[in-house]
Amino acid sequence: MVFRSPVFTKERAVYLVGLGPNYTNLTDCADIDKLSPNFTSVFGPKTLFRGIDWDAVLDGKKGNLKELQDNLLLIYCAQNPNSVSVYPLVVSNPGDQRASQQLPLSLSPTLLAPLNSRRYKGLVAAASILGGTTVFLFLFARVVELKASQEQQANTLYLLLKLVQSDSELFSQFVSQDCHRLLLKVLQSPRCIAGHHMLKVVILMLNLNLQRSVQKRSEKSTSLNL
């Protein structure tokens, strides 16, 4: 993506990372209010002390993308390597420059070397086709119901939480469908074997719940300020 002015800040870059790799252009982010960005892969010692305004990242929501959409110039995406989309600047009202809402001009790029495009097919894509996080939550509950070993239960739980962390769409399902409540009920079952294998995985779950509570507090404080 190329912009007409220097609007691509560190905070907006972090926000786009939180949306995951499925959102390859700003037009796909039009329904951003329905998504819960996943920042678990971003939080860490290297990012927390890099001068990033985390309040702007967590509270910004759609505001993090509006400036990018307003100043969008062109997009080149690996999904369509034979075309460059150029967005015209249209000013209808003062301060209203929604370039991303205009019909882009399609141009053919000059390639200096041949391109070989490959479609990514991984576990996340397969999980979405199967039905998302609820299917894997049921799988974990079934493994517990069958009184599987502690290690098998822990591996199944790890698979569920790893899927939730790896994709923003699956993460949004986990949050919006209150899957964490059902997950806690399974963990409280007498057939669930507590041990060091489960403890390692539960720490991941606590990180997810911590991020969820931080985002809810940010949303609440923003609504109170409004």
Q: For residues 139 and 164, give the distance between their C-alpha atoms in angstroms, rounded to a whole number.
A: 14
Q: What is the mean pLDDT of residues 187-193?
A: 90
d(CA 220, CA 78): 38
Residues 132-183: tens digit of each pLDDT: 888 899 999 999 999 999 899 999 988 888 888 777 778 878 888 888 888 8
Backbone angles phi, psi at 224, to 5 degrees: -70, -40
Distance, in Å, from the CA atom of 1 to the CA atom of 69, rounded to the nearest integer, reads 11
Strands 84-86 and 105-107: antiparallel
Residue 123, pLDDT > 80, answer no
Q: Which of 22, 17, 66 is nearest to 43 (CA)?
A: 17
Phi, psi of 85 (to 5 degrees): -95, 120
Domain map (residue ranges) of the chain: 2-107, 123-225
pTM: 0.60
